[in-house]
Amino acid sequence: MKLCHISDFHFSSNFLVKYGEKVLYYLDKIRPDFVVITGDLTDNGYYEEFLDAKKYIDKISCENVLTVMGNHDARNGGYEIFEEIFKTRYPVVESRNLIILGIDSSEPDIDEGHIGRANYSYIEEKLKKEKNCKIIALHHHLIPIPKTGRERHIPVDSGDFLKLIDDLQIDIVLSGHKHNQWIWRLNNTIFVTCGTSTSKKLKGKGYQSFNLIEVEKDFISIDEINLTNDEKRSISYNRKNKVDYLYIKYKAC
């Protein structure tokens, strides 16, 4: 199973067309089974920005595209527009062996994240099924990310939600928000934060990127694709033995 993880388009003057086109090129080349977009489609939650984002997403050559809302999308009443265009703030895609649940971690006009205990029972109901791979996608990171400044935007109920993730034996959690690529492993869950895929809003000497995740019976491999030079950073986890990463390597695509 191949999954492409892209994030933080920031449609506005901050959106860079050349990287948007490059993402589409890679997706057409890879032909993933699933594409997950972890929020901040827009910069300000304006209707015109959402229309541009939807037009772009419609160009993605994949039948299974899951999109969640980011804090920028919830600005200026954008949370209502998101629901109008994408129909739900809690999307689900599912196959015989895999389930991906999208979660809205945003609050209107507030950058901080919040899952909400009222949503836990729904999440538990969806993810208690027996699947070879369970994935959660949300905008906000649940564990602080290095080199992103003082931590203020982590969901206020991260501790409780991390416990639920552990109880449900979630394999992968996908997020965006911080515009800095990072991977944590906590217990047996891999937390993957994507950088901005298409915007100029970078951290320091950061770069535009996306993630290619391949799930096999015994391994989960994650390739971070640097869109500025096409280099790839790879990491692979042994699922069967529940050990930390087996290797990290750099190579050209």
Q: Examine the pLDDT at 253 and tell me if it is beyond 80.
A: no
In this structure, what token pair is assigned to residue 195?
Answer: 């950088």
What is residue 248's predicted lDDT score, i.e. its pLDDT? 47
Residues 23-49: tens digit of each pLDDT: 999 999 999 999 999 999 999 999 999
What is residue 242's predicted lDDT score, i.e. its pLDDT? 55
pTM higher than 0.85: yes
In this structure, what token pair is assigned to residue 231?
Answer: 């280099």
For the chain, helix, strand, coil in percent to 5 are 25, 30, 45
Answer for the pair 231, 252: CB distance below 8 angstroms, yes or no: yes
In this structure, what token pair is assigned to residue 134?
Answer: 């369970």
Residues 144-181: tens digit of each pLDDT: 999 887 777 889 999 999 999 999 999 999 999 999 99
CA distance 7 to 39: 6
The CATH number of residue 163's host domain is: 3.60.21.10
In this structure, what token pair is assigned to residue 129?
Answer: 């099924």
Q: Which residue has tokens 């096999």?
A: 216
Percent of the chain with pLDDT over 90: 82
Average pLDDT, integer, range 228-241: 88
Average pLDDT, integer, range 107-128: 93
What is residue 241's predicted lDDT score, i.e. its pLDDT? 63
* Sign of torsion over alpha carbons 52, 55, 61, 65: positive
Q: Examine the pLDDT at 8 and tell me if it is beyond 80.
A: yes
Q: Examine the pLDDT at 245 and tell me if it is beyond 50.
A: no
Q: Which residue has tokens 């800095």?
A: 180
Instruction: Please provide the average confidence, as pLDDT, over all residues in the chain.
Output: 92
Q: 160: which strand partners?
A: none
Find the helix or strand (DSSP H, E) in which 102 lies.
strand 98-102
- Fill in the amino acid letter for 225: I
In the chain, the number of structural domains is: 1
Answer for the pair 66, 54: CB distance below 8 angstroms, yes or no: no
Range of the domain at 239: 2-252
**pLDDT-based confidence at residue 234 (cuts at 50, 70, 90):** very high
Q: Examine the pLDDT at 198 and tell me if it is beyond 90.
A: yes
**pLDDT-based confidence at residue 246 (cuts at 50, 70, 90):** very low
What is residue 135's predicted lDDT score, i.e. its pLDDT? 98
* Sign of torsion over alpha carbons 70, 73, 75, 81: negative
